[in-house]
Amino acid sequence: MTLHPVLTAVTERVISRSARTRKAYLELIARERENGISRPRLACGNLAHAIAASGDDKAGLRSARGMNIGIITSYNDMLSAHQPYGRYPDQIKLFAREAGGTAQVAGATPAMCDGVTQGQPGMEISLFSRDVIAMSTAVGLSHGMYEGVAMLGICDKIVPGLLIGALRFGHLPAILIPSGPMPSGLPNSEKQRIRQLYAEGKVGKDRLMDAESDSYHAAGTCTFYGTANTNQMLMEVMGLHLPGSSFVPPNTKLRQELTRAAIHRLSEIGARGDDYRPLGLCVDERAIVNAAVGLLATGGSTNLAIHLPAMARAAGIVIDWNDLDQLSSIVPQLTRVYPNGSEDVNAFHAVGGMPSLIGSLLDAGLLHPDIMTVARGGFAEYRKKPCMHDDALAWEDAGPSTDDTILRPPANPFRADGGMKVMEGNLGRGIYKTSSVAPERWTIEAPAAVFDHQEDVLKAFRDGKLDRDVVVVVRFQGPAANGMPELHKLTPTLAVLQDRGHKVALVTDGRMSGASGKVPAAIHIGPEAYVGGPLSLLRDGDVVRVCARTGSVETLVSATELANRTPSRPPAPQFGTGRELFALMRGNVDMPEQGASAILASMDHMAAHEDA
């Protein structure tokens, strides 16, 4: 199938824009392969330290005959998605021995749960945990003991952080290994209904707790299509998972065999063999564009509008929101998974899932078919679904979706576009996710209610001050101000106002989660208020217009009046819950469209100094 001309044009623009930085990156990983730290170059004392506790693997590690796989794990048993990883290292060591190699836990990373920290002070360090995870990955791999990398991670900042860190060791092959979603629990629509009833004071905390516990009830990833599951989709459409492995449930024979197959495959794609597939070559401009297409085709989390540029940047690739916007014009929405529909990722997987989705996008010319993947047969293998035949792992053709209420082909989409819009105007530049918002609500014009803290929004609601047409503006929520916490806690409250018949929208320089739901929201607005962005000039009662049809976010206050206003003073920095430890990152972070990363901003500064 011929590639869609817009897909080709966007890819060529990304390649051209990235020419200098990609060249520098490829030169880096080539140097690291030839001259960087590695097992054969370690002194005897270095190597002795590294293998001292290796038991039966010591002889193999000393001889350096087979691949030694470095495991980067984000295991903890508080986070349901990562609890299954507790057993993975011991299994991976056995699987590596079967392939003639060895494996060691190279290091661990933090793994925050945004579901636990939503609306809490800890959410203010969530985005920056991605940088910490990237640095933790680099610390683990810096010992030079490894010829391949197995990354264990699922959720919001964890997969992007793992990939950013591993890409700085891009001469090594790497595979991300998922653990799978928990069984389906309380239907998402019922969970949302109970949350809104609680926000209105119509049910008590015990009823809310019962509903939440019935939704999040077992080991595995949360089953709505939020950031965690968008990450899994992204890794598969980039070819960094084994085909069809993203949404296979934990604690099953198929899940275990996919982990075994991933380790066996990793042992085959190292530099010593004839099928070398280093991570830095797998993640190229075409793979990044494929990731953007997958994000749009599935109505994925808006958080990836921040994470995707950051991951790309770690490989020397520059993609921006204009690229996403242009791709959104030609990539149809093919899935209905909560919050864009009523079903969850288990239902999506059952009706064809990722193999059917990828196959249909390839047939429509909307994915690059020639990317380098970790699978032996290339991207064509990602049309296939894994299964067990006679107690052995096999792959079979997935075919088309078996339920067009959940997953459709491009010829019969749910929407003609990808549901993500760049918003621009005199209030700045941001993102709007149209895919979960009814079209009749795409344009909202109403007086603003301006807040500096999300708790003040909830108080105003309880006091009856928001029971009207309103654009709720929550500012000083950007990365430089307070780490850019998600404002998902506001969703039930704003949904109540909307259900009462009011015209309601949110405008913020903060984030909303992949479960942001049905309320119109212009988010990630920059420049953020903390650095003097236009949101700092807004006052209560100013009329604000948010229009996804025209891609505009603006106040109707005149330019002259705005120019004469003094920016509002930012709230004082907050101490407690470790937030003060992240002041260095807040002070060095760059714009969300660039990835909102302090470490990548500093890295680019180093590169610019070297060029000078």
Query: Are 371 and 439 within one domain?
Result: no
Cβ pair 476, 452 in contact under 8 A: yes
More confident residue, 561 or 188: 561
Query: Are 390 and 427 within one domain?
Result: no
Type of residue numbered 96: A
pLDDT of residue 173: 98
pLDDT at position 431 over 80 = yes
First CA to last CA distance, the chain: 45
The Cα 588–Cα 540 span in angstroms is 31
Enclosing H/E stretch for 69? strand 68-73
Residue 551 lies in a domain: yes
Cβ pair 182, 223 in contact under 8 A: yes
Residue 522 lies in a domain: yes
The owner of tokens 């609680």 is: 198
Q: What percent of the chain has pLDDT over 70?
A: 99
The Cα 536–Cα 566 span in angstroms is 8
Give the alpha-carbon dihedral of 576, 577, 579, 582, to 10 degrees.
Answer: 130
Query: Are 127 and 76 within one domain?
Result: yes
pLDDT of residue 600: 96
Residue 59 lies in a domain: no
Q: How far is CA 303 from the centre of its chain?
A: 6
pLDDT at position 514 over 60 = no
Q: Are strands 521-526 and 428-433 parallel, antiparallel or unpaired?
A: antiparallel
Mean pLDDT, residues 199-223: 91
Query: Are 374 and 233 within one domain?
Result: yes
Domain containing residue 426: CATH number? 3.50.30.80
Q: What percent of the chain has pLDDT over 90?
A: 86
Residue finishing a domain among 335, 364, 397: 397
pLDDT of residue 273: 86
User: Six-digit token pair at 467?
Assistant: 């029971």
The Cα 525–Cα 529 span in angstroms is 9
User: Six-digit token pair at 525?
Assistant: 């607005």
Query: Are 259 and 137 within one domain?
Result: yes
Cβ pair 484, 511 in contact under 8 A: yes
- Summarised one tens digit per residue, pLDDT across range 57-101 is 999 999 878 999 999 999 999 999 999 999 999 999 999 999 999
The owner of tokens 């290796």 is: 54
Q: Coil, strand, or helix at residue 116? A: helix
pLDDT at position 381 over 70 = yes
pLDDT of residue 317: 98
pLDDT at position 609 over 80 = no
Enclosing H/E stretch for 557? none
pLDDT of residue 513: 66
Total of domains in the chain: 3
Which residue from 415, 477, 432 is spatially nearest to 302, judged by alpha carbons? 432
Query: Are 511 and 548 within one domain?
Result: yes
Residue 516 lies in a domain: yes
User: Six-digit token pair at 259?
Assistant: 């982990």
Name the pLDDT band for 515 (thresholds 50, 70, 90): low
- Averaged pLDDT score across all residues of the chain: 94
Name the pLDDT band for 435 (thresholds 50, 70, 90): confident
pLDDT at position 611 over 80 = no
pLDDT of residue 516: 56
Lowest mean pLDDT among 25-29, 254-258, 273-277: 273-277
Query: Are 442 and 307 within one domain?
Result: no
pLDDT of residue 315: 98
Query: Are 350 and 383 within one domain?
Result: yes
Name the pLDDT band for 141 (thresholds 50, 70, 90): very high
Query: Are 503 and 365 within one domain?
Result: no
pLDDT at position 593 over 70 = yes
Which residue from 115, 434, 437, 406 is spatially nearest to 247, judged by alpha carbons? 406
Q: How far is CA 223 from the centre of its chain?
A: 15
Residue 56 lies in a domain: no
Helix 321-328 × helix 5-17 angle, to 10°: 170
> Reading across the β-sheet that carries 174-177, which strands appear in turn?
102-108, 68-73, 148-152, 174-177
Mean pLDDT, residues 6-15: 98
Query: Are 365 and 469 within one domain?
Result: no
pLDDT of residue 517: 65
User: Annotated binding residue at 44?
Assistant: no
Query: Are 382 and 425 within one domain?
Result: no
Alpha carbons within 13 A on the beta-carbon side of 567: 16
User: Annotated binding residue at 155?
Assistant: yes
pLDDT of residue 190: 87
Q: What are phi and psi of 485, to 5 degrees?
A: -70, 155
Query: Are 479 and 369 within one domain?
Result: no
Residue 247 lies in a domain: yes
Q: Coil, strand, or helix at residue 327? A: helix
Range of the domain at 486: 420-564
Name the pLDDT band for 118 (thresholds 50, 70, 90): confident
Residue 232 lies in a domain: yes
Residue 208 lies in a domain: no
Q: Is the dihedral of CA 377, 382, 384, 387 positive or negative?
A: positive
Give the alpha-carbon dihedral of 376, 379, 593, 550, to 10 degrees.
Answer: -170
pLDDT at position 367 over 70 = yes
